[in-house]
Every structure is written in structure tokens, then in C-alpha cells.
Amino acid sequence: MEKVQCLIIGGGPAGYTAAIYASRAAIAPVLYEGLEPGGQLTTTTVVENYPGFAGGVEATALMNDMREQAVRLGADVRRGVAVKADLGSRPFHIGIDDGTEIEAETLIIATGATARYLGLPSELKFRGMGVSACATCDGFFYRKKDVAVVGGGDTACEEATYLAGLCRKVYMIVRRDVFRASVAMQEKVKSTPNIEVLWNCNTREVLGDANGVTGARLERKDGTVFDIAIDGFFLAIGHNPQSALFAPWVKTDAEGYIVTDGRTSATNVEGVFAAGDVQDPRYRQAITAAASGCRAALDAEKFLKQ
């Protein structure tokens, strides 16, 4: 059993920033990066709204730099996924998928969120064969082809404009007659000639054959059913917070987001803190995640020194 003062679970902006601050506070953080080192940001291309980069910054480079900064300051950053947790008493017990068992005096949960799917059997059938929840990961495979993006939020608009640069045509399947996205993102979509928005439409079925996706069957609000021919079907309908492992102890809201106390990162379990998208249904930005990682490290430091 390894004893750790400050254990951080999650390798996104929140986790790395927590590791940077915890290292400088000399509370010897150990960070496990989880399934997706770099976090969700690595599924995007250029980040234009992270302060300090006048010309924007490549997402993967930003995350690599955050990680390196944490390591240089003394954080023990490891590959591995937390698979067991017992937060019933302190020190907390966490089991890692490589068999490592850890006793942690404080725990910072920065496990982020993952993409939502519609839940259609055909969508599951063609996952990885034309169905994807990450345009920047998979868009490359659809160069000069026709694709569809489901959703009307910032992510959907961002992914549609990204895909429009690669693909011949991009349909956006939007279930209402308005976008949820910010005005700036809506403008980008409107000014991109090869994006066609299909308003008031829901997907009934993803169509395909042995080679993968060939189309989608859509239904308009008025009941009209029609098919579109596409090679790629991209989901951009929001995310689920990755809190299940800790939910038996840590209070979550109806959607599974960890509830933190006021402006702090404290959860209902003393010594357990939460940072980033796993506790943020509202802002979900790299910069807000990083800021909350800072708060969590400062809260853990204060807790340990009390």
C-alpha cells in the first residue's frame, strides 16, 4: 500500500493545474492521467481562447506543456486509471488498474466528462465505422466526403466548421429551430457555405452496410421522414461527468456532476476535492477547469496543514 499526501485523478487542465500548485505547495502530488491523457481538449485542434497565446495554441501542445510544467515542479505524473475507491474513511483507498493500491490523505477528483450518444442501436452498431463523437480525432477519414453533426451547441458548431474544412458537405442536425451555441459560433456556421443546417430534426436511425455508415434517417417535427446520404455521423450533444466511481460517497447533482461547496472545491467528504468538468455543468472551458484545479490544490494544501 503506497501512502500519498495528495492524490489527483485526471489528466486534463484541472488535474495538471492542481498538480502544478500542489507541487509548489510541497504536498508531493501523485497524478493518474486516466484513459485520455490531456483530457477532452486533446480532441480539439487549435485553442483560441486560452489566455496568454496571442495567436492561439495547438491543444495537444498546450496539454503537453501543462503536464511537463507539473513534472518539472515535482509532480509524480503516472499513466493509469482509478478503478476502485473507498472514501468511507481517511486515508482514502484508491485502486489503480495496474494493481497499485493507494492510501491518500487528500484526493482531488478531476476526471472530466465524456461524450453523450443518442442511444440508438444503429448508432452503437456503427460506432467506429462512421459514428464518432470526436470530429477532430476522426474527421481526417472523411476528407471530401459528406458528413453530419448532431447538436446545436458550441461543440456542434465548432466541429461542423472544422469538418467543413475537410469534407465536401456537412449537415447539422438540430432538434429545435435555434442553436444553443454562442452568437460567435453561430456566425461561423452561417458564414461557412458547405454547412447545411437541418432544423427541427431528430435522428431515427443511422443507416449503413458492411463497410460502415451510408446515411441517416431523420424525422422533422412535423412528422416528415427523410434520408440523407453521408459517410460520417458525428455526435456533439453534450457530455456526462465521470463521477460514478466516487458517487457512493461524494454528493452529485441529478446529472452526476459533483457538488462542491460554494466557491471552494470541497465536496461533502472532508479531504476530497473536485475540479474541472466533473463538477462544472456550466462553463466547461479549459481555463475554468485549470482555475478550479488551482483552487482544489490550494484547498488540499490548507486541509493538510490544518
Give the catalytic positions in this structure. 134, 137-138
Neighbouring C-alpha atoms within 13 Å toward the C-beta of 110: 40
- The secondary structure of 70-122 as a DSSP string is HHHTT-EEE---EEEEE-SSSSEEEEETTS-EEEEEEEEE---EEE-----HH
Q: In the complex, what is the shortest distance from the CB of residue 59 to ligand NDP, in angstroms, rounded to a whole number?
A: 11
Among 175, 188, 204, 251, binds ligand NDP (CB under 6 A): 175
The C-alpha atoms of residue 284 and residue 232 are separated, in whole angstroms, by: 26
Residues in binding contact with ligand NDP, number by CB under 6 A: 18
- The C-alpha cell at 143 is 476528407
In this chain, which stretch among 122-130, 172-180, 259-267, 293-301 interacts with ligand NDP, using CB under 6 A? 172-180
Tell me if 224 contacts ligand NDP by CB under 6 A. no
Instruction: Of 296, 225, 305, 302, give the one whose Cα is nearest residue 10.
Output: 296
Among 9, 27, 150, 275, binds ligand NDP (CB under 6 A): 150
Instruction: Verify binding: residue 284, ligand NDP, rule CB under 6 A.
Output: yes
* Three cell numbers, residue 39: 483530457
Q: Name the closest residue to ligand NDP (Cβ).
A: 153
Question: Binding ligand NDP by CB under 6 A: which of 46, 73, 81, 118?
Answer: 118
Question: Of the candidates 138, 158, 231, 299, which one interacts with ligand NDP according to CB under 6 A?
Answer: 158
Single-letter amino acid, residue 29: P
Burial-class residue 178 by CB neighbours within 10 Å (0-12, 13-18, 19+).
exposed
Rounded to whole angstroms, the Cα distance separating 303 from 306 reads 5
Contacts by 51-58, CB closer than 8 A, 24 or more apart: 51/287
Contact range with ligand NDP by CB under 6 A, out of 17-25, 70-78, 236-244, 292-300: 236-244
Q: Using an 8 Å Cβ cutoff, are 113 and 284 in contact? A: yes
Which position among 74, 95, 153, 256 is part of the footprint of ligand NDP (CB under 6 A)? 153
Task: Give strand pairing partners of 171.
Answer: 148, 196
Smallest distance, ligand NDP to C-beta of residue 27, A: 31
Q: List the interface residues with ligand NDP, window 31-70 (CB under 6 A).
A: 49
Among 72, 176, 220, 221, which residue sits at the site for ligand NDP (rule: CB under 6 A)?
176
Q: How far is the CB of 94 from ligand NDP (least distance, A)?
A: 28
Q: Which residues bind ligand NDP (CB under 6 A)?
A: 49, 118, 150-156, 158, 175-176, 180, 236-239, 284
